[in-house]
Structure 1
Amino acid sequence: MTTAALLACAMLLDAALGEPDWLWSRLRHPAVLMGDAVRFLDNHLNDGTHKRLKGVVATMLLALAAMLIGWGLAAFGPVVEILCCAMLLAQKSLVQHVRDVAEALRVCLPEARAKVARIVSRDTSAMDGPQVARAAIESASENLSDGVIAPAFWFLLGGLPGLLLYKAINTADSMIGYRTEKYAQFGWAAARLDDLLNLVPARLSGLMIALLANRQSQWRDIVKDAERHVSPNAGWPEAAMARALGVALAGPRSYHGQIRHLAWVNESARKEIGAQEIARAVKILWQVWALTLGLVMFGIVISLLR
């Protein structure tokens, strides 16, 4: 089977099954195992002097181990490749988490805060309804790129080794890629490599959202907002989603009790939003997934005709 055919099967399997509780309540998820590896490196290397150099070494070790494991697993054949790829795609689980926020927001604000706290790292205890909705939509946009488009992209380019490399570095960035006293030096390499690996997928995600929502005429505005975003990559799907929904996203929010005055995305648009806008964002998530699958299938057909 071609890599594109393997990816198409994995995308369909993930969309159908997601992350079944009966399985992951008994086994450790691959992403959890990656987190364990990052934590081990953090505990054993992140101290003393030369933290940036140690962080580079840790990132290289993590990347090398991920690729070697990928090559080893791929040797077992296409069924193992499809299963591993499906495990590391996050379309259905992303949709479920975001939809849960919308459903809770329709009936109970405290419950909606609890649901959105599962998918964002900001403070949620004092959020009002529109803030909950914005947080859910922003998470949906960013995780569409990080959890679906980027893994598919790197699987197409590098097979299972490429996918595991991406997921390992993305996991490391989520754990140590912060500009804090503890991680500013040690997490530098992981954060910069994650930026590089997401460079193309983030822009592809934004472009697909804009095209599907017929917002290509606003691409220059999307680019301007994306370039003002605190992240070099997350702003692209977020800015495109804001215009697809006709809402304002981002803006001030609280982390660990401290307000961060981040720039608004699509600032002049509606800020009073709720469950309806989250539901529309979920619909766009599926549309982007379907377009991605369609492009993969098109590639399969072209390869068969050669």
Structure 2
Amino acid sequence: MTLFFAMLLDAALGEPKWLWDRLPHPAILMGRAIAWCDDRFNTGPFRLLRGVGVMTALAAGALLLGEALSFLGPVIEILIAAILLAQRSLVQHVQAVGDALRLSVGDGRRAVAMIVGRDTAEMDGPAVTRAAIESAAENLSDGVIAPAFWFLIGGLPGLLLYKITNTADSMIGHRTPRHAEFGWAAARLDDLLNLIPARLTALLIALPHHVLRDWPAIRAEARQHRSPNAGWPEAAMARALNVALSGPRSYNGQMQDHPWVHPLGNHHPGPHQIDAAVSALWRAWALALAGGLVLGLLGCLL
């Protein structure tokens, strides 16, 4: 039942600004630890082995810390889990893009730049919309369903293991000259930990929108994505909203010709489609919440 109450608490409170203006968020602390490791150990020869060692140490530390915190009781578990889930903050960030886009394309660009890593300066309205929807789908998996899944499987140790891995992947798991070797272990472990949650997220999006019949197409389009996991929720969201996603976009001034996801969908989406994406986030969350409640009740009875 701890997952059920943690999801409710996160949805109700999100990330209170008054609290995190005074205290460092756990994700910030994780980021500082990873940045220190990057500065300290990502030098010289054997960077792949150094990266494996760092990721092993970070994972072990997360597991041990989670185990220690578990002894503080279920109330502390619920509070920590709620802090490390991100449903309400995700919804707020995505909705902010839709609200800004209603004012002007420039406002939409500035809002979407807060949640995506691609170039936004030359985006038109549909490009802003697609970026927001894609971010919504991917972060539903990374920020809500995957943490909830690993909390359900492994309690706080499982949740902290996932969060430190996902944070490390976002910081050092890039195929750049600096991180291609050192971040290899973080990227591969993140791929492994997201294998089931990404597909589960796609299912949670598809079910309430009655597009489960399109699962073969969702699977095929997910496999075209550069990530082995991120394409699943994105492809499901594209079908759920009947919007063409992905396609060409620019990173660091370089255009990349990504294939379209659901190419027969609407190529000119706008704020209304962002509203629909926010609704899809809540529907998927509600299904996950119901699943957590059922599993919690079964656990109490067994």
**TM-score higher than 0.5:** yes
Task: Judge which range, 78-87 or 194-203, deviates more.
Answer: 78-87
Task: Judge which range, 13-22 or 75-84, deviates more.
Answer: 75-84
The alpha-carbon deviation at position 209 of structure 1 amounts to: 0.9
1:1-306 matches, within 5 Å, as 5-306=1-302
Unaligned runs of 5+ in 2: none
What amino acid is the match of 1:106? R
| C-alpha distance in structure 2 between counterparts of 1:43 and 1:215, whole Å | 46
What amino acid is the match of 1:287? R
> SS in structure 2 opposite 1:106?
helix
What amino acid is the match of 1:86? A
| C-alpha distance in structure 1 between counterparts of 2:91 and 2:198, whole Å | 18
Task: Judge which range, 166-175 or 59-68, deviates more.
Answer: 59-68
> SS in structure 1 opposite 2:250?
strand
| C-alpha distance in structure 2 between counterparts of 1:267 and 1:180, whole Å | 30
The alpha-carbon deviation at position 302 of structure 1 amounts to: 2.3
> SS in structure 2 opposite 1:210?
helix
Q: Cα deviation per residue 1:13-43 (whole Å; 9 max; x = unaligned)? A: 0000000000000000000000001100000
The alpha-carbon deviation at position 262 of structure 1 amounts to: 1.0
What amino acid is the match of 2:247? G
> SS in structure 2 opposite 1:175?
helix
Q: Is the 8 A contact 2:4 2:296 kept in 1?
A: no
What amino acid is the match of 2:36? F
The alpha-carbon deviation at position 78 of structure 1 amounts to: 1.1
Q: Cα deviation per residue 1:91-120 (whole Å; 9 max; x = unaligned)? A: 000000000000000112111111101110
The alpha-carbon deviation at position 300 of structure 1 amounts to: 2.2
What amino acid is the match of 1:78? P
| C-alpha distance in structure 1 between counterparts of 2:58 and 2:284, whole Å | 30
What amino acid is the match of 2:10? D
The alpha-carbon deviation at position 192 of structure 1 amounts to: 0.3
What amino acid is the match of 2:196? V
What amino acid is the match of 1:298? V
The alpha-carbon deviation at position 76 of structure 1 amounts to: 1.1
Measured on the aligned residues, the alpha-carbon RMSD in Å equals: 0.8
TM-score with structure 1 length normalisation?
0.97
